[in-house]
Structure 1
């Protein structure tokens, strides 16, 4: 392997970046520049392209925050994106070259959010070993809940009854493009229960869903034309992720979320490998929202981890 070179990403590289992500063993559509750049005005992009000669061997989606480089501050996860050619020894060289670049660029700290293993299409944890060798330490751990579909447990009794009652009441699950109706539900729930707003605005979500219609999908529980409950799904291929859950009081009483989850697990996404409900933690992972976690576990999900590492440069 010839010596590695590092260059900073710019928009002229978007096509080759997206092509590498598409063919990688651990990249998802979140790393496509059409998604990653939707909030470019809020994050100073400092993504890196690692090459050997003329061939790209790794990408690092990242943003700068003062003297800290973060992979990635605007995404659920970041980390080195690699393809089937990546091996452990090569990754040691990649991390060494990348840290040298970061130091020369004036960074003193790397915050690294590795892609969770359940989003990999084939094993891709070379980065964790290489960062350990470089002296990285774990600074955050978030408990998420996921289902491995090949041995999916059943629902709890109450969730089974909820889905059954919804069917008996004539509630139907349909895929929808009515993002406005969904956001009305979502904003009401988040505001009343948590005093927060959705990560994405309605305008942002409508734009992203139009750009990635096969990846960003909305499923609703309907009584006639009325959307009672909704789940926003990020379809990442072998893994699907629940990005948002929203329901009205009527939807909660009718088992709207229960019937949607049942439909997704037994029909729409039955051939997926992982079904990820996302994290249930607060305060940088130090507090578990036990009620939220319990709800996910009642669908058969169990704990998986999202982690963050820090490397002093």
Structure 2
């Protein structure tokens, strides 16, 4: 019989070991990342064991009224599993999860899949299980992704901007000080959307210190001034652009184009995928055409990220 157990801190070492050895998780699913903002969420992550006590799967989650979200504070966070997971076992895992959630008084499961580019081995049995349970697709985001081994040449317009920037006294550098870039990012987000970055300056600096091999800030400088920057979340397989922003001077000089070209062709040339992230709003229904055209100008093409809702 499959057993579902709610996560507590006594399971931290076991959780993290399973994440590191799994076929579809990344450093974002380690507890030191998940728990950095635990005051904002009521954690209700789950561990799934078989009848012999072997850990089969994890489900990062938080409780929001009568809904279990997987996980509201993360970009992705569906069922984490090992290569030993099979389709029949995944169906049994979901049956056990549904029974547990009903017993706990939940009425809905809001489920974020883990995009396929992060899978080290095929891992979409959860999609099939959700289909079998009549889960409803509620959101589909568009990730703009470059497959590095078969990269499409840059668009001529992008190449012209790169050439233009290359003639100026600009410098691309990896830095530890996030403050100057964060000021540009915050100003741009406030002006364009009236919002703030998901992470505060203190939070992103703290996470970068916790995960120095995974979180990096790359900037373009002119006379020692930051005029463009990108925060990269690097899983070793995927280089994901978490934050992208440029100043007015950066736009004038093509600094962001030069920065992207450097990262694509040099810093992250050995990654399997280079992920620009989404160009969506309104739960995926609005596509920012100008934004995605810029990304596709570098050779990126679409991978979708699906979200489901299961009524219990």
What residue ranges of structure 2 are gaps of 5+ in the alignment?
none
1:21 to 8, 19, 22: 19
Report the CA distance between 1:299 and its aligned residue: 1.2
CA shift, 1:288, in A, is 1.0
Task: Give the TM-score normalised by structure 2.
Answer: 0.97
Between 1:149-158 and 1:17-26, the stretch displaced more is 149-158
What's the offset of the Cα at 1:304? 1.5
- Measured in 1, the distance between the counterparts of 2:10 and 2:229 equals 38
Alignment of 1:34-183 (within 5 A): 34-52=32-50, 53-183=52-182
Is 1:208 aligned to residue 199 of structure 2? Answer: no
What does residue 216 of structure 2 align with? 217
Q: How many residues align?
A: 311
Instruction: Give the distance between the partners of 2:15 and 2:303, measured in 1 at CA.
Output: 29
How many Å apart are 1:292 and its aligned residue?
1.1
How big is the shift at 1:129?
0.8
Alignment partner, residue 300 of structure 1 = 299
Query: Distance between the aligned counterparts of 2:135 and 2:155, measured in 1?
Result: 40
Q: Distance in 1 between matches of 2:170 and 2:55?
A: 50
Partner of 2:7: 9
> Equivalents in 2 of 1:231, 1:215: separation in Å?
13
Deviation at 1:279, TM superposition (A): 1.0
What stretches of structure 1 move > 3 A for 4+ residues in a row?
A: none
Deviations 1:229-288 (A, max 9, x none): 100000012111100111111111111111111111111111111111111111111111
SS in 1 for 2:40: coil
1:32 aligns with 30
Q: CA deviation at 1:140?
A: 1.2
Counterpart for residue 278 of structure 1:
277
Displacement of 1:193: 2.0
TM-score, normalisation: structure 1: 0.97
Question: Offset at 1:224?
Answer: 3.3
Instruction: Give the match's secondary structure for 2:36.
Output: coil
Q: CA deviation at 1:55?
A: 1.9
1:305 partner SS: strand
- Aligned-pair CA distance for 1:190: 1.0
Aligned equivalents of 2:192 and 2:128: distance in 1? 40
Output the CA distance in 2 between the equivalents of 1:166 and 1:286.
34
Whole-angstrom distance in 2 between the partners of 1:83 and 1:170? 49
* C-alpha separation in 2, matches of 1:4 and 1:182: 48
